[in-house]
Structure 1
Amino acid sequence: MATVLSVSGSPSATSRTARLLRHLDDRLRRQGHEVTVLDVRTLPAQALLGADFGHPAIIEAAALFERAEGVVIGTPVYKAAYSGLLKSLLDLLPQYALTGKTVLPLATGGSTAHVLALDYALRPVLSSMGAAHIVPGWFTLDEDIAVGEDGTTAVAPGSAEALARVTDGFSAALGGRTTVLAATG
């Protein structure tokens, strides 16, 4: 199937956003996709904040975007926008780093007041970077993501169903994209 880059823009090592992404990554893998994980917080802060386009970690991150057919972008919402950490990375990528890519935007936050951050803050940036297709995304409340004593992630039933639908839509869009590319190649 397709190669997918799963990007977490959360600065937290115990992030609900990253846990949610890993939950979706598992579903995508079961559907036959090859998933690579990129937690932006693991990139060198000096390279991100110093806009060091030539830093090896930034070059490798850009290469991960280049190789991916699909990209899942997950971010916590702060002050009605995606994380500054994610912005730091997106600013260092080539202008059209998402050209030809299918993209699934996801966000987490403490209140439904942040739902529009996907459409009014993140989606325009992804579009300006040349994404071929931005599938409908999903906002998940922090309270709908729980961590069990064994470390497993549990998503509240209503959110889990919605996430399954958007993930399956993304997967289907990737399948159609792969078919189209194979037919034209």
Structure 2
Amino acid sequence: MSVLLIAGSPSERSRTAALLEATGQRLETRGVQVQRLRVRDLNPQALLLADFGHPSVLAAQELVAQASVLVVATPVYKAAYSGILKVFLDLLPQIALKGKTVLPLATGGSPHHMLALDYALRPVLQSLGAKHILPGIYATDAQVVVTPEGGYQVDSEIGLRLDEAVDTLVVENLIQGLSNSGRFRSVPFSEVRCSV
């Protein structure tokens, strides 16, 4: 399973990036290969002018094509996902997410914008052909706090929800690997779970 973390925040350091990174760390702990794409690092002119042939856009499209799972994170502005993420999603081919599993993440100032995940972002992900969109995780500013050192810390409730989402991603992709081959595939030791 290869996972692409897509940061849809225009800021270099943000609560959204911290939430996405917490997800990435949980995946890596389970032995999952993770790649990162910060939309803000793509050529701004290519994004704004919808330059489908620009090398940075082509490279980003290739990262999306290679991933079996996408984790898409965005801040919520004016009850919708970020404009920079919208511009990027518009540059993807219409079936860019076909057969892929997507975990949407969002951050916002208050719980009032929680439904932006379901009413703004989910329809776009579905229109791009996502096979399965997991229930999104929304965190308020109070749930991703700034530490005294200037970093960010997700609270325990959000941490538990991230753990559950990552477990679902790992289990579903193990099952998918099984059903695609018609027989059991090799399972890395780091993915083995047993109970006594």
Q: What is the match of residue 60 of structure 2?
A: 61
Offset at 1:152? 4.9
Offset at 1:20? 1.1
1:116 aligns with 2:120: no
CA distance in 1, matches of 2:150, 2:35: 21
Q: Cα deviation per residue 1:106-129 (whole Å; 9 max; x = unaligned)?
A: 110001110100000000110110
Q: What is the match of residue 158 of structure 1?
A: 157
Does structure 2 retain, via aligned residues, the 8 Å contact 1:71–1:101? yes
Does structure 1 retain, via aligned residues, the 8 Å contact 2:4–2:63? yes
Whichever residue aligns with residue 23 of structure 1, its letter is A
Q: What is the match of residue 89 of structure 1?
A: 88
Q: What is the match of residue 193 of structure 2?
A: none
Offset at 1:165? 1.4
Offset at 1:91? 0.3
CA distance in 1, matches of 2:97, 2:171: 18
Gaps of 5+ in 2: 186-196
1:148 aligns with 2:152: no
Partner SS for 2:157: helix
Partner SS for 1:95: coil
Q: What is the match of residue 32 of structure 1?
A: 31
Whichever residue aligns with residue 4 of structure 1, its letter is V
Percent of counterpart pairs with the same letter? 49
The alignment of Structure 1 onto Structure 2 pairs a total of residues equal to: 184
TM-score by length of 1: 0.94
Offset at 1:57? 0.4
Partner SS for 1:163: helix
Q: What is the match of residue 6 of structure 2?
A: 7
Q: Cα gap change, 1:131/1:148 in structure 2, threshold over 3 Å: closer, same or farther?
A: same
C-alpha RMSD of matched pairs (Å): 1.6
Is 154-163 or 96-105 further displaced after alignment? 154-163
Offset at 1:183? 2.5
Gaps of 5+ in 1: none
TM-score by length of 2: 0.89
Please tell me whether Structure 1 or Structure 2 has the larger radius of gyration of its CA atoms: 2
Offset at 1:150? 4.4
Does structure 1 retain, via aligned residues, the 8 Å contact 2:18–2:153? no
Q: What is the match of residue 131 of structure 2?
A: 132
Does structure 1 retain, via aligned residues, the 8 Å contact 2:8–2:73? yes
Q: Cα deviation per residue 1:55-86 (whole Å; 9 max; x = unaligned)?
A: 00000000000000000000000011010000
Q: What is the match of residue 72 of structure 2?
A: 73
Is 129-138 or 151-160 further displaced after alignment? 151-160
